[in-house]
Structures are given as structure tokens and as C-alpha cells.
């Protein structure tokens, strides 16, 4: 291991979705930035992979998320123009729910509050317009035409490529072992070297709690599994004919995508009792039981997509205590900025979160509308 101390303006720990965007936005503002990633860039050990991640202006989680979603879409388009990479695919989005669930009312509220155009549709209207759907009678839905998906691997690669072009350094296969704050910034020890920086940015996904003991009680890594099934009617599950979706039934919910590059109709379930995991002991092999639960969901709501299994892939996401993100300076550590706890719906915001993190490092705060996500609420 190199015993000399290498100095940078900012050091980013974790170069996945959030970390790659932070590295780019910091370098774009003229900082000497080092990004350190313990795995490959990109990699499939967290939640910044899988070929497609939903982007949507409809934010049923909280209407206050909508401005950040808009900003993220603008920044993704800017990154496409800068790198020449195709990142976004527009399909429209469907939020649908059984009677008694709140997803449609919450989706409608978020659109109304922020002037997002939308349509309210019955189950029959959704099924007729988008034949890959087979929503049960009584379901209602919100259709929004601007939704779609971003390619996460391309987005990570694009942010890293653009960051390097701005002068940043990114090192993969290097794990942070320890860090501490000093009078003039931070010191970081990895398994390959020692670094000093004016500011530390922690975007370590499921490993954030291991690096930030004060936040560990608020961060819970959990397991999800995605499925790709061979459609019986492939023409119904193309980006031109099949919007991305969030569907909430009486006893289960899920989300999904049209066929894109990897063969198969892709979707996942949102379990009510997710399996808590240690990221260092994560089992990468999906189980038969996980497959059967996924297939049951597809058969119930998208039967023409529920053909043979083509692929199963697990991922780790990190739930926060209240479901909102943790963004800002680590309490008691002015030289440390954190982005964590994205609770399964954070990737769509990565481009904007990178900008927010750069604001905190360079300006000390941000004007972006992130009040619900500020870490000081804890």
C-alpha cells in the first residue's frame, strides 16, 4: 500500500449513480476530485444497474419531489448532449391501484400541485390503450406522457466519462477502510492508499451505514429481485406500446418496464416485509420462491408478458427510516456531505442529486427544493 498522502479538493466514496453524478458536478465546478469505488465502474452490486430505471414526473410518494424530478430530466438531457450517449427513453407512465389504495389519489395530487399534465383512466381504458396491461375491474390509473426510463449503466458511464473530461480521477477496485475529520478537511484510508481532502462526499449506497455510524440506525439495506420474462405477445411490450408502471393491488405492488436491450419484459415487486441484508454477505443468487412471487405478479396483471423466465437479478437498496432521502452535511461534520437512504426510488434523481451535493460542497447549501430530504430532520 502506498504510504504517501495524496490530496484533493473533494473525495467521493462510491461511484454508482449518485457518486458518479457528484464527481461530475464537482469537477465541472473546477474542483480537483477523486472518486473511489470498491467494485467496478459501473457494477451490479447495488442498485445502479439492470438496464433500465424508471423516470417520471408523477411523484405519488410526495408532491415535493416533482421539481427535483424535473431538474433531473433536464440534466439527463444535458448529459446526453455532452456525451453523445442515449440515456432516456420516453414511454409514458401509468400509476394504477385497486379500490381503497391511495396511489391514484397521491399521483393526481402531485400532478395538480405542480401543473403536470395527466389523464385519469379506468382499468378498461388502460387495457384498451396499452394491450400488454390486464388491470382488474375497479382499478383506476393516472397516465402521464413524459415518463419513461433511464439506462443506469450508461448514466453512470456518462457521468464518469464527463467527470474525467473535466479533470476528475476515478479509481475502481479500491475500498475505503476508515476516515476521520481534521482541522483542514478529512483523511481517508483505503486498501490501496491514503488521501487528504477538503471535503468528503459519501454516496456508498448499502454501505453508507458502515461508513457513517451515526446514520446507521436510519439506513436499512434490503434485497429486491428483478425478473425478465419472455412475452407471449412481444409487440405489446415494446417502448412504443408499453408505458412504465407502478401498480398497487390489495396485497402486493410492483413496477416495471417494456423490453429494452436485455430480452424480456422487466418488472419487480415491492414486498411489504423486505429482507434485510448485510451488504458484505449478500447472496447474488435469486431463489425459486422469489421467482414464483414475481411470476404470480406478472400473471395477475400482465399475463401476455408472463412467458418463460429469461433472467433474474437481485439488487440492494437502502431504506431510510421515514422513506425520504438523506441529503446534506453529516451532523457535526461540516466537511462531510451525504446522499443515502433512497428507498428504492432514487435513481431517477441521480443527475439532480449530483448537482445538489456539489452545491453543499462548494456553496455550503443548496437552493434546490430538498427540504423533505434534509438530513437535519433526523
Share of the chain above pLDDT 90, in %: 97
Q: Does residue 33 lie in a domain region?
A: yes
DSSP string, 53-105: EEE-S--TT-GGGHHHHHHHHHHHHHHHHHH----EEE--EEEEE-TT-SHHH
Q: Does residue 65 lie in a domain region?
A: no
> Can you tell me the mean pLDDT for 356-365?
98
> Can you tell me the mean pLDDT for 24-40?
98
The domain tally of the chain equals 1
pLDDT tens digits, residue range 229-243?
999 999 999 999 999
Q: Which domain holds residue 359?
A: 5-48+153-217+323-377
Q: Does residue 132 lie in a domain region?
A: no
Q: Does residue 80 lie in a domain region?
A: no
pLDDT of res. 378 = 87
β-strands 244-248, 253-257: how paired? antiparallel
Q: Does residue 26 lie in a domain region?
A: yes
pLDDT of res. 3 = 66
Residue 39: how many CA atoms within 13 Å on its side-chain side?
19
pLDDT tens digits, residue range 146-162?
999 999 999 999 999 99
Residue 1 has pLDDT above 80, yes or no: no
Nearest to 48 by CA among 323, 342, 328, 282: 342
CATH number at residue 42: 3.50.50.60
Going by pLDDT thresholds of 50, 70 and 90, the confidence category of residue 272 is confident
pLDDT tens digits, residue range 115-173?
999 999 999 999 999 999 999 999 999 999 999 999 999 999 999 999 999 999 999 99
pLDDT of res. 4 = 83
Residue 328 has pLDDT above 70, yes or no: yes
Q: Dmax over Cα atoms in the chain, in whole Å?
A: 67
pLDDT of res. 2 = 53
Q: Does residue 61 lie in a domain region?
A: no
Nearest to 330 by CA among 179, 152, 170: 179
SS3 content of the chain, % helix, strand, coil (to 5): 35, 30, 35
pLDDT of res. 90 = 98
- Cβ neighbours of residue 369 closer than 8 Å, sequence gap 6 or more: 64, 67, 68
Going by pLDDT thresholds of 50, 70 and 90, the confidence category of residue 59 is very high
Q: Does residue 57 lie in a domain region?
A: no
> Can you tell me the mean pLDDT for 74-100?
97
Looking at 1-5, 106-110, 143-147, which range is the least confident one?
Answer: 1-5
Nearest to 129 by CA among 231, 259, 241: 241
Q: Which helix (H) or strand (E) holds 24?
A: helix 17-28
> Grid cell 446522499 — which residue?
339
> Can you tell me the mean pLDDT for 244-263?
96
Nearest to 34 by CA among 200, 138, 168, 140: 168
The 3-state DSSP class for residue 158 equals: helix
Residue 41: how many CA atoms within 13 Å on its side-chain side?
28
pLDDT tens digits, residue range 289-299?
999 999 999 99
pLDDT tens digits, residue range 199-233?
999 999 999 999 999 999 999 999 999 999 999 99
Q: What is d(CA 343, CA 324) in angstroms, rounded to the nearest whole number?
A: 7
> Can you tell me the mean pLDDT for 188-203?
98
pLDDT, averaged across the chain: 96
- Which cell is 77 given? 438531457
Q: What is d(CA 76, CA 79) in angstroms, rounded to the nearest whole number?
A: 5
CA 216 to chain centre: 20
- Cβ-contact 66, 113 below 8 angstroms: yes
Q: Does residue 198 lie in a domain region?
A: yes
Looking at 1-5, 10-14, 261-265, which range is the least confident one?
Answer: 1-5
Amino acid at each position: 500500500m502506498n504510504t504517501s498522502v495524496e490530496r484533493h479538493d473533494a473525495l467521493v466514496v462510491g461511484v454508482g449513480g449518485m457518486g458518479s453524478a457528484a464527481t461530475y458536478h464537482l469537477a465541472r465546478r473546477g474542483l480537483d476530485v477523486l472518486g473511489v469505488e470498491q467494485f467496478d465502474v459501473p457494477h451490479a452490486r447495488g442498485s445502479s444497474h439492470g438496464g433500465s430505471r424508471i423516470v417520471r414526473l408523477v411523484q405519488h410518494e410526495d408532491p415535493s419531489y416533482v421539481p427535483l424530478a424535473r431538474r433531473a430530466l433536464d440534466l439527463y438531457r444535458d448529459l446526453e448532449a455532452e456525451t453523445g450517449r442515449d440515456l432516456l427513453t420516453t414511454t409514458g407512465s401509468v400509476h394504477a391501484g385497486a379500490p381503497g389504495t391511495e396511489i391514484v389519489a397521491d399521483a393526481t395530487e402531485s400532478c395538480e400541485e405542480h401543473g403536470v399534465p395527466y389523464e385519469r383512466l379506468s382499468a378498461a381504458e388502460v387495457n384498451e390503450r396499452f394491450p400488454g396491461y390486464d388491470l382488474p375491474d375497479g382499478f383506476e390509473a393516472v397516465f402521464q406522457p413524459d415518463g419513461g426510463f433511464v439506462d443506469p449503466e450508461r448514466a453512470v458511464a456518462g457521468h464518469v466519462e464527463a467527470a474525467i473530461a473535466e479533470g476528475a480521477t476515478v479509481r475502481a477496485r479500491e475500498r475505503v477502510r476508515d476516515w476521520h475529520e481534521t482541522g483542514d478537511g478529512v483523511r481517508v484510508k483505503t486498501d490501496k492508499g491514503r488521501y487528504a481532502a477538503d471535503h468528503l462526499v459519501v454516496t456508498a449506497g448499502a454501505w453508507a451505514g458502515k461508513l457513517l455510524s451515526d446514520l446507521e440506525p436510519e439506513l436499512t439495506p434490503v434485497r429486491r429481485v428483478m425478473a425478465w420474462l419472455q412475452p407471449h405477445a412481444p409487440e405489446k411490450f415494446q417502448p412504443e406500446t408499453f408505458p412504465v408502471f407502478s401498480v398497487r393491488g390489495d396485497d402486493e405492488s410492483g413496477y416495471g418496464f417494456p423490453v429494452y436491450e436485455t430480452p424480456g419484459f422487466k418488472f419487480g415487486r415491492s414486498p411489504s416485509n423486505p429482507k434485510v441484508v448485510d451488504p458484505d454477505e449478500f447472496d447474488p443468487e435469486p431463489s425459486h420462491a422469489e421467482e414464483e412471487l414475481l411470476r404470480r405478479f406478472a400473471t395477475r396483471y400482465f399475463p401476455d408478458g408472463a412467458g418463460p423466465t429469461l433472467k433474474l437479478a437481485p439488487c440492494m437498496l437502502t431504506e431510510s427510516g421515514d422513506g425520504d432521502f438523506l441529503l446534506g452535511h453529516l451532523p457535526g461534520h461540516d466537511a462531510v456531505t451525504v446522499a443515502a437512504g433512497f428507498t428504492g426510488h432514487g435513481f431517477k434523481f441521480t443527475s439532480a442529486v449530483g448537482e445538489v451535493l456539489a452545491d453543499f460542497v462548494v456553496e455550503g447549501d443548496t437552493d434546490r427544493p430538498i427540504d423533505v430530504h434534509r438530513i437535519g430532520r433526523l
